């Protein structure tokens, strides 16, 4: 009621005849919103549009940065990269690393979120587990890399436990054997990333009305049927959004790979990010590195398109 009466009170206070705005007033009124938007627009242009346009420009040049007068070479870098065996090896590794990480993040995150949402545990117990489960998310990538390098090194704790329990006969070189390295870095990434899903899904679970479950229980639905017919559909918008975001982030994972395996051994953990970095800062081929970065940008934009579409559908 109070809010409805405010405009009237305001009009009475003004107490002046209604005036038509002049031309300059109309222009000002039109420009004011743009004034508000300007800082954001300038930031977007300076921090995003200009760098992206520059990188696209670089990708069409001979070898920018290292040459004073680079030549225009059109799409040569793109054709070189797309026909390179190393690039497709990196694509294949990135797809495996990302796909397995996203699926495992989802399954583990959902399982832990449901455990923390259960009514079978007391609040104190839940708080303890919530703290333990969220721990990996609190570490920076550098700490995660150092921690797991120490755990997985041939003389590390993991091998000690495996050998002491008789599960392994000899020391396993988890990060140094081509056969195990990709699985090892994927596992580390899964370990470090699931709490993001867990906390978001827990919030989603807590928003599902209890009435739905009670009604289903009255109708004789089993726990599995309640999970499939109530929990999953209710969480679907969150799951889709998070899976897409996670897919985008994981395809760009660089620091973890660089600090654990550097893309080796024998290229078995080479990702698009490490491939691009090596082109730029090891070979100093900034033109080719820019082309690789543009390819990653296009892939990310396609994923971002689906993310935005999922968000719109959710709204």
Partner 1 sequence: MRKKFLAGLAAAAAVTLAVSGCSAGGTTASSAASGGGDVTLEFAQWWEPELPQGSLRALMDKFESENPGIKVKLISGPYASTKEQVVAGAAAGTMSDVVGLDGAWVNDFVKQGSLANLTDLMKSASFDESQLAAQVKLDGSTYMIPVANFVYPMFVNEDLLKAANVSAVPSNRTEFAAAAAAVTKTGKASGWVLPLDTATPNGIQNDVMSWVWASGGSMLKDGQPNLVGNSDVKDVMTFIKGMYDAGSIAKGTFTMKEQDKVNEFTNGRVGMMIDSLAHVNLIREQNKDLKFSVAAIPAADGYSGKRGMPYASWGIGVANNSAHQAEAFKLVAFLMGKDVNATLCNSAHAFPGNTQSVPDFVNADPIFKQAFEIYQAGTATNEFTGLPVAEDLMRSFDEQFQKYLAGKQSVDDALTASQSAWETSFKG
Asked if 300 interacts with partner 1 (CB under 8 A), we say no
Q: How far apart are CA 312 and CA 304, in angstroms?
A: 12
Minimum separation from the CB atom of position 115 to partner 1 (A): 35
From 57, 99, 136, 262, residue interacting with partner 1 (rule: CB under 8 A): 262
Half-sphere exposure at residue 289, Cβ-oriented, CA atoms within 13 angstroms: 19
Under 8 Å between Cβ of 275 and 292:
yes
Q: Which of 61, 91, 141, 181 binds partner 1 (CB under 8 A)?
A: 181
Please choose, out of 115-123, 171-179, 211-219, 230-238, the segment that lies near partner 1 by the rule CB under 8 A: 171-179
Q: How far apart are CA 219 and CA 97, in angstroms?
A: 42
Sign of CA dihedral 98, 101, 106, 109: negative
**β-strand partners of 72:** 61
* Residue 261 C-beta: closest distance to partner 1, Å: 5
Q: Please select the residue that binds partner 1; options are 55, 241, 267, 296, rule is CB under 8 A.
A: 267
Residue 161 CB, shortest distance to partner 1, in Å, is 17
Confirm or reject binding of residue 178 to partner 1 (CB under 8 A). yes
Give the DSSP H/E element, type plus range, for residue 50.
Answer: helix 50-58
Q: Which of 177, 234, 241, 300 binds partner 1 (CB under 8 A)?
A: 177
In the set 55, 65, 216, 221, which binds partner 1 (CB under 8 A)?
65
Q: Does 7 bind partner 1 (CB under 8 A)?
A: no
Torsion angle (degrees, nearest 10) of CA 78, 81, 82, 84: 160
Residue 29's H or E segment, with its range, is: helix 23-44
Residue 263 binding partner 1, by CB under 8 A: yes
| Beta-bridge partner residues of 61 | 72
Q: How far is CA 51 from CA 4, 44, 62, 293, in A?
A: 48, 10, 18, 12
- Considering the rule CB under 8 A, would residue 154 count as an interface residue with partner 1? yes
Q: Least distance from C-beta 96 to partner 1, angstroms?
A: 18
287 binds partner 1 (CB under 8 A): no
For residue 170, give the 3-state DSSP assignment: coil
Contact pick of 38, 92, 118, 311 for partner 1 (by CB under 8 A): 38
To the nearest whole angstrom, how small is the minimum distance from the Cβ of residue 54 to partner 1? 10
Instruction: Report the alpha-carbon distance of residue 80 to residue 51 in Å, rounded.
Output: 23
Binding site for partner 1 (CB under 8 A): 28, 31-32, 35-36, 38-39, 41-43, 46, 64-68, 149, 153-155, 171, 173, 175-178, 181, 258-267, 278, 281-284
């Amino acid at each position: 009621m109070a809010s409805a009466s405010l405009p009237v009170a305001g009009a009475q206070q003004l107490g002046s005849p209604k005036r038509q705005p002049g031309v300059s007033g109309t222009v000002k009124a039109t420009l004011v919103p743009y004034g508000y938007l300007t800082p954001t627009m300038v930031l977007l242009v300076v921090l995003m549009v200009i760098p992206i346009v520059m990188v696209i420009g670089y990708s069409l040049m001979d070898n920018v940065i290292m040459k004073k007068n680079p030549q225009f070479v059109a799409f040569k870098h793109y054709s070189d990269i797309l026909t390179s065996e190393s690039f497709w090896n990196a694509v294949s590794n990135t797809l495996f690393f990302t796909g397995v990480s996203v699926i495992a993040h989802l399954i583990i995150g959902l399982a832990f979120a449901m455990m923390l949402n259960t009514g079978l545990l007391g609040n104190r117990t839940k708080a303890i587990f919530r703290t333990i489960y969220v721990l990996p998310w609190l570490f920076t990538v550098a700490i995660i890399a150092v921690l797991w390098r120490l755990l997985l090194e041939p003389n590390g704790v993991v091998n000690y436990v495996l050998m002491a329990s008789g599960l392994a006969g000899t020391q396993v070189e988890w990060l140094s054997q081509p056969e195990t390295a990709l699985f090892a870095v994927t596992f580390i990434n899964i370990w470090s990333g699931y709490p993001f899903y867990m906390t978001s899904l827990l919030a989603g679970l807590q928003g599902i009305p209890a009435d739905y479950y009670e009604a289903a229980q009255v109708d004789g639905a089993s726990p599995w049927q309640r999970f499939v017919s109530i929990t999953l559909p209710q969480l679907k918008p969150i799951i889709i959004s998070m899976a897409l975001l996670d897919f985008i982030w994981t395809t760009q994972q660089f620091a973890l790979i660089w600090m654990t395996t550097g893309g080796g051994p024998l290229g078995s953990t080479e990702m698009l990010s490490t491939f691009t970095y090596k082109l730029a800062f090891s070979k100093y081929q900034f033109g080719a590195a820019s082309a690789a970065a543009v390819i990653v940008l296009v892939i990310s934009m396609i994923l971002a398109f689906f993310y935005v579409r999922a968000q719109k559908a959710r709204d």
